[in-house]
Structure 1
Amino acid sequence: MNIRTPLRTAWAALRALLVLTVVTGVLYPLAIAGVAQAAFGDRADGSPVQADGRDVGSSLIGQTWNDANGDPDPRWFQPRPSHSGYDPTATGSSQLGASDPTLLASVEETRAAVAAFNGVPESAVPPDAVTGSASAIDPHISPAYAELQVARVASANGLSPDRVERLVADHTEGRDLGFLGDERVNVLELNVALRAVVTADGD
């Protein structure tokens, strides 16, 4: 048996492995990252939202707006419920069916809490205020839920309801392509704008 034949085969295989590793493991990812940064820099970086010159979150991921005791802070617009506490490492729905007694009890409890927190009747509470999203980290709420919170947010921050309503209107996003999905409000972006107004008034 000629020992050179298996050695040549092994060397050819090793060279192919090295070349493919460099091409698919280094050059290709770098090229894709370069294109992403050039064409979609903001999205490629995780769609960060800034306040006071620093990143305060991502426009793609919701977060809680609680006080020091862990309760919803009346100064801020609140997101929809999240069984994961808006933990981006624990996405996914609660897996509870629409007729599950646990879910139904949770919805009723949350509806009563939202109504009391905002000083409105329970019949005025919209569905997204009492139900979580499929991902558990949805950053958006409906315009109806945002409008529901206007009076409470305005009072807590010493602003006029009209001024807060304008903020909501300015941060209401339309349907994708004009007909896909529903109108929505990004809670983080709205609260960042609200903070800027409150800070400006305090100067």
Structure 2
Amino acid sequence: MLSQIRPAFVLLFLLTLVTGLAYPLAITGVAQIAFSAQANGSAVERGGVVVGSALIGQNFVGDGYFHARPSATSAPDPANPDKSVDAPYNAAASSGSNLGPTSKKLIERVNATIESEFAAGRIDVVAADAATTSGSGLDPHISPQYALAQVAGVARARKLNEARVRALVEEHVEGRALGLFGEPRVNVLMLNLALDALQ
């Protein structure tokens, strides 16, 4: 019996070393050498301070900034842990709303978002991502259409030339991956940092 158990334990030990230690360390080493920024969270720094990640959206507020698309993430309600409250761009609770196109709650939320953006003078055209959430609730990008729709409001709030703000948006449009995959997009964090650098 020992002659059958010993090879099993030796094999378990060797495979644990190879697949549980050597392989993960090798892959981590390759990632740190070849893709250091991505392996460390695609952190964005300004003045030696991490201000965010290029891969996780942030909830920008105020008329002087470009806004990201709405986020459906939530957090536990401090008053009642059994319930949740809206917490836009909460990276600890990535989720979509799971509301279907016939949902009354979704229709009311979309209409309220559009009305508030128009009432505040923030947008002049409604792009789809101005009122709809992403699947993760953490999308760092918006469409060029939504970014351009916000130009007039941001320029007015910052007392900047509208043409200069429009040019800044156009400079930050990222094309399709390999020219084929995905849609053109604008990273809101990078755009807002460039906007801050103008002043």
Q: Please tell me the TM-score bracket, short chain as reference.
A: 0.7 to 0.9
Confirm or deny that 1:167 pairs with 2:162.
no
Q: Is the 8 A contact 1:114 1:125 kept in 2?
A: no
Structure 2: gaps (5+ residues): 74-87
TM-score normalised by L of structure 1: 0.84
Amino acid of the structure 2 residue aligned with 1:114: E
Please give the secondary structure, in 2, of the residue aligned with 1:97: coil
Separation (CA, whole Å) in 1 of partners of 2:138 and 2:123: 26
CA shift for structure 1 position 147: 1.1
Q: Is the 8 A contact 1:118 1:148 kept in 2?
A: no
Separation (CA, whole Å) in 1 of partners of 2:119 and 2:176: 31
CA shift for structure 1 position 89: 2.2
Structure 1: gaps (5+ residues): 1-5, 66-71, 199-203
Separation (CA, whole Å) in 2 of partners of 1:101 and 1:169: 36
TM-score normalised by L of structure 2: 0.86
2:128 is matched with: 127
Identical columns (%): 46
Amino acid of the structure 2 residue aligned with 1:163: R
When residues 16 and 36 of structure 1 are mapped into structure 2, their CA distance, relative to the original with a 3 A threshold, is same
Match of 2:66 among 59, 65, 77: 77
Q: Is the 8 A contact 1:48 1:55 kept in 2?
A: yes
Query: For the aligned residues, what is the CA RMSD?
Result: 1.6
Confirm or deny that 1:36 pairs with 2:37.
no
Please give the secondary structure, in 2, of the residue aligned with 1:191: helix
Structure with greater proportional helix content = 1
Equivalent residues, number = 185
Separation (CA, whole Å) in 1 of partners of 2:39 and 2:46: 19
Higher radius of gyration, 1 or 2 = 1
Task: Report 1:48-127 matches (<5 A).
Answer: 48-65=43-60, 72-84=61-73, 85-120=88-123, 124-127=125-128
Task: Report 1:7-18 matches (<5 A).
Answer: 7-18=2-13
When residues 20 and 73 of structure 1 are mapped into structure 2, their CA distance, relative to the original with a 3 A threshold, is same
Deviations 1:57-98 (CA, angstroms, capped at 9, x unpaired): 111110111xxxxxx311111000001111122222211111
1:21 is matched with: 16
CA shift for structure 1 position 169: 1.0
Please give the secondary structure, in 2, of the residue aligned with 1:118: coil
Deviations 1:117-172 (CA, angstroms, capped at 9, x unpaired): 23555xx2111100001111111111111111112222222322122112111110
Q: Is the 8 A contact 2:123 2:152 kept in 1?
A: no
Tell me whether 128-137 or 84-93 shows the greater mean CA deviation: 84-93
Tell me whether 183-192 or 170-179 shows the greater mean CA deviation: 170-179
When residues 137 and 196 of structure 1 are mapped into structure 2, their CA distance, relative to the original with a 3 A threshold, is same
Please give the secondary structure, in 2, of the residue aligned with 1:89: helix
